[in-house]
Structure 1
């Protein structure tokens, strides 16, 4: 049982050595340990702050990217609308130009047809008059071959003519 009950001297020296150890630990080890813990705490806080900043930056960049995408879509839509308007305008101009050219060609063809028709009619008239003159010459030549017929024709013509 003596081992279970310590003596006063032993308790005193244990207390003194504990206090010296406590003093030495406080003086030399406690401050560096607290300093290391404080640095660790600051590093963790800085990492959390950096993570928060990175999160905010990512949110800002995401928002900015969405705005850029929206703007790009709007520009694309505007370009497509302008292209469609331009295409419609070009098609309309081409149709109008084609109609004008077609009308010019039709008018030119009509004038050519009229000219050809007029020339053909003039040629037919010339041929008819030429044929008529040839026929009349031949008929008159045949009629005037006989002298008696000539005199009868002259006398008939003279009867029709009245002198004033």
Structure 2
């Protein structure tokens, strides 16, 4: 065999191999590569969507956290104001109650003072009558001299 015939036969076998590969081998490989490329593209798209959804979810969470913080701060401020109002109200009631107690004690002290003065006046009048009896060495009738004793009480 000559080298030309061998080259020619090898070229024909090579072309048959190329045709067979293009017809039967290449389409499944290309299809597998296309499917793999499509899966990779879908995976990348899903990753991008997940990333954007994560970003949106993080923004939503931050917004809700800020809102909750504001509500909490507002409620704490309201509670603090209410506590201050309750304290002030309790102080006012305590002051009012204390003033009532002081006024009652003053009125009671005034009443006891008046009673003590009356008792003292009666004792002084009785002593004056006894003293007058001893001076005059006779008995003084209190009923007869009631007007005189009343004037003496008022003077004392």
Query: How far 1:8 sits from its partner (Å)?
Result: 2.3
Q: Which residue of 1 is the match for residue 37 of structure 2?
A: 41
Which ranges in structure 1 are unaligned for 5 or more consecutive residues?
1-5, 144-164
1:57 deviation in Å? 1.1
What CA distance in whole angstroms lies between the structure 1 residues aligned with 2:3 and 2:97?
Answer: 131
Residue number in structure 2 paired with 1:64? 60
* Of 11, 20, 36, the match for 1:15: 11
Matched position secondary structure for 1:44:
helix
| Residue 52 (structure 1) aligns with | 48
Across the aligned residues of Structure 1 and Structure 2, the Cα RMSD in angstroms comes to 1.4
Q: Normalising by structure 1, report the TM-score.
A: 0.80
Rounded Cα–Cα distance in structure 1 between residues aligned with 2:110 and 2:123 = 19
Structure number with greater Rg is 1
Shift in Å, 1:142: 5.8
Deviation per CA, 1:65-84: give whole Å up to 9, x if none. 11111011101110111011
Q: Using the alignment, how far apart are the partners of 1:64 and 1:21 within structure 2?
A: 61
Structure 2 counterpart of 1:24, from 15, 20, 27: 20
Secondary structure in structure 2 of the residue aligned to 1:119: helix
**Structure 2, unaligned stretches of length 5 or more?**
140-156
Q: How many residue pairs are counted as aligned between the two chains?
A: 138
1:142 & 1:134 partners in 2: Cα distance?
Answer: 10
> Stretches of 4+ moved more than 2 A in 1?
none
Higher RCO (CA-CA < 8 Å; seq separation 6+): 2
* Aligned positions of 1:9-158 closer than 5 A: 9-141=5-137
